[in-house]
Amino acid sequence: MFQAPSSKFQDKGFTLIELILVMAIAGIMSVVVVSQYSQQRDYKALLLGEEQIANDIRMAQSYSYNILMDNGSFSVGGYGINFSSAAGSNNKYIIFADKDGDKEYDSGDEKFEEIELPRNTNITSLKINNTEEADKTVDLVFVPPYGEVFMDKENKISGSFIKLEIKIENSDGLTKIIEASSSRLIK
C-alpha cells in the first residue's frame, strides 16, 4: 500500500519565494556598493587632477630657475603651461618651452609635454584676478633666471600681484580650485 511522505521530508529546502527574496536583497546591496565605488573613484580622480596641475605648475616654475635645456637649446622665454576651458580641449593642458620669448604658447616646436587630466575631470573655469576667462586659453609663463611670472597671453600680465584660478570639475559636479600667483605661491 502507498503511504504519503512524512512531514520530515516536506520541511527540507527553500521555497521559490525565499530564493527570489534573497536574490533581490543581494542585488540591491551590490548596486549600492558599486555606485559608492564609482563615486569614490571619480572623487579620487578629481583629487589626483588637482595635485597633478599644482605639481606641473611647480615643475614649469623650477625649469625656469634651472634654465632647463629643451632639445639641446635653452628656452629664452622660459617655461609655461597652456590651460584651456574651451570644450574639447578642457581635459588636458600643455607644458611648453617659450623658445621665441613672446610669453605665450605657440603650437609646434614649443610643446614640451601634453598632460591629460584623470578620467571624468575637466577644466571648467579660468579666472585671472577674479575675472572669469570663459572658454578661453590662458598661459602661465615663468621667465628665467628668477622665474618672473606672466599670465594671459593677450595682456601679458606681470609685476603687481596677480592670481590665476583654475577650476576643475568631475562628472558628479564636485569641484576643486588650484591657485597660482605672481608671488609664486601655488595652492
In a domain, 93, yes or no: yes
In a domain, 147, yes or no: yes
- pLDDT value for 154: 53
| Cα angle 103, 105, 106; round to 5 | 115
Coil/strand/helix, residue 136: coil
Length of the chain: 187
In a domain, 59, yes or no: yes
pLDDT tens-digit series, residues 127-164: 888 777 666 888 888 888 777 788 875 555 555 677 88
User: 5 preceded by cis ω (within 30°)?
Assistant: no
Domain hosting residue 141, numbered range: 41-181
In a domain, 68, yes or no: yes
CA distance 164 to 184: 11
- pLDDT value for 158: 57
Under 8 Å between Cβ of 166 and 123: yes
Q: Rounded mean pLDDT of 29-51?
A: 86
In a domain, 29, yes or no: no
Q: Rounded mean pLDDT of 103-118?
A: 86
Q: How many domains does the chain have?
A: 1
CATH number at 145 reads 3.55.40
Task: Give the residue among 76, 95, 88, 87 at the shortest CA–CA distance from 140.
Answer: 95
In a domain, 96, yes or no: yes
